[in-house]
Chains A and B, each alone.
Chain A
């Protein structure tokens, strides 16, 4: 039998993350249809509400500029597609791999570390969200819902949104005990989706605590970032969003790593 001669060079964090992505890619290569669902949802909302309901509404004022309703809703759905895509893999799939497949235990029998697993899985979630967003952005361009060259930056913005949600949701998933616990995720997902200034301006919440709370939620930060970029009305709010999402993602990543240490290296 041929032997593996010599000791292979240690994996760098980047090549380790790439291997986890490769593993997930091979799995989805034969189940690519599952990939479509996460993309369709925001698209259907755009057609039904953005275009459909949009015919009854003139549009909204966004940072003092009048914006047609569909153009107002589309960037929110763009942010949502990154959010949805990131959520799909970092919640149910991670739970399945962690609890039932014992996939991470298998990986830890190799030179891979918990940090590699955290980075690899979050990268995968991020990529899935980004692919959805990229496709959605193309749809927006085709439909004339993009009003500025700033929109080129909307793609990295969605990568950031996917990163932040992928990391935090994977971290939360490490505390899940059973499938029922995922109701809590769904419970958080719906209001985040509906009230993050997705379908109406944040001014609707008045000027009180409620608006302050909404502005502090992560999907709102993503929505406002995408909306500023695709409409071209860019303000300091985008900078706040970027910092917010970067910090959220890094904290999530660190927590995931610590939790995997606690759960798997016993």
Chain B
């Protein structure tokens, strides 16, 4: 579906994407995980065929975006980072007119619009102005709109950023359904839980490069331990206490507000810490996540 070789994007002197190789297969959910400024959105815009490739090779659905932009875009669904809905049109007309832009005939557009209103659970808002919708509804409408042409490939740029937890789960459920219907999904996110939930395979991006690639499980197995013991001490004590627990795990990460001790047996770490007479304010043993993978690979957390 997507094949990139040595793909680069620069804006003047600034290089946002510094040569990445990506291969996305039909039917899979593929993720770009990374902090803001990692080059995810620039990559997405190149895939969406609205941003010329600076160098390297890019093929979308077997076509070259430089020459076949309209043909590629005809088979893509694009859900941008910000909801760019047509605020001057009603909810229904947003879907209808957008479908017409793809060259889809009137009757099919109308049928599709009604189906997608149901899919997005906003049928009762069909005649409402877009500006009167809640944030979650706007997001669902944006996603519904990106499906109007029954795309082969759906690009979702930070689909759940800014949504409340409930709205996120509704959206995840809908994305699962699409995947089951055979739509290839490409998702960017800086939420590791989202990446773990949705992606079959992902790349971790940092500063315009790919830091790691694999399934969420593979990445965690390869770059982290099974469990993590989180130790929270008083303000400013973490740096100094790090060396006192260093030998308890395979690795220790110092964060401003806590220490992370990586070990396959998290409970034993906590017990040992208490035996040494250290008194953390709070402890937590959890499984490793992609956040830990990212921390390991870049030395920074995703939220930065």
Contact = CB atoms under 8 A, between A and B. Distances in A.
B97 A22 contact: yes
Given A105-B80, A111-B71, A265 B93 contact: no
B89 interface: yes
30 contacts: A1-B115, A4-B104, A4-B112, A4-B148, A7-B75, A8-B102, A10-B70, A10-B71, A19-B101, A22-B100, A23-B86, A23-B97, A26-B97, A101-B86, A102-B82, A105-B80, A105-B84, A106-B84, A106-B98, A108-B50, A109-B48, A109-B76, A110-B98, A110-B149, A111-B102, A264-B50, A265-B51, A265-B52, A266-B11, A266-B51
Nearest to B108: A4
Interface string A42-53: 000000000000
Contact of B69 (A2, A3, A15, A113): A113
Given A4-B149, A102-B84, A266-B11, A111 B74 contact: yes
Contacts of A8: 74, 102-105, 149
Interface in A1-45: 1-5, 7-11, 15, 19, 22-23, 26-27
Interface string B220-233: 00000000000000
Nearest to A20: B101
Interface in A63-108: 101-103, 105-108
A265 B112 CA distance: 29
B239 to A, nearest CB: 42
A10 B70 CA distance: 8
Interface centre among B101, B111, B150, by most chain A C-beta atoms within 10 angstroms, is B101
Contacts of A111: 70-71, 73-74, 101-103
Given A27-B89, A101-B86, A111-B101, A2 B111 contact: yes
Contacts of B101: 11, 19, 107, 110-112
Contacts of A23: 86, 89, 97
Interface string B48-92: 101110000000000000000111011110101010111111000
Interface residues of B, number: 40
B92 to A, nearest CB: 10
A111 B71 CA distance: 6
Contacts of A109: 48, 50, 73, 76, 78, 80, 146
Contacts of A7: 74-75
A94 to B, nearest CB: 13
A171 B101 CA distance: 23
B97 A19 contact: yes
A110 B102 contact: yes
A195 B149 CA distance: 52
Contacts of B70: 10, 111-113
Contacts of B119: 1
B13 to A, nearest CB: 15
A262 to B, nearest CB: 11
B181 interface: yes
Q: Please list the 4 inter-chain residue pairs (A to B) with the smallest Cβ-Cβ separation, ordered nearest first.
A: A8-B103, A110-B101, A111-B70, A109-B78
Contacts of A103: 84, 86
A68 B101 CA distance: 51
Given A2-B115, A4-B108, 15 more contacts: A1-B119, A5-B150, A7-B74, A8-B104, A11-B103, A22-B100, A26-B93, A26-B97, A107-B101, A111-B71, A111-B73, A111-B102, A112-B101, A113-B69, A113-B70
Contacts of A105: 50, 80, 84
A265 B50 contact: yes
Interface in A232-266: 264-266
A237 B19 CA distance: 60
A22 B105 CA distance: 14
Nearest to B181: A1
Contacts of A3: 150
Contacts of B75: 7
Contacts of B150: 3-5
A196 to B, nearest CB: 33
Contacts of A11: 101, 103
A7 B63 CA distance: 15
Interface string B150-165: 1000000000000000
A102 B80 CA distance: 11
Nearest to B149: A4
Interface string B124-140: 00000000000000000
Nearest to B52: A265
B43 to A, nearest CB: 14
Given A4-B108, A19-B97, A23-B97, A10 B89 contact: no
Given A22-B97, A101-B86, A10 B103 contact: yes
Contacts of A106: 84-86, 98
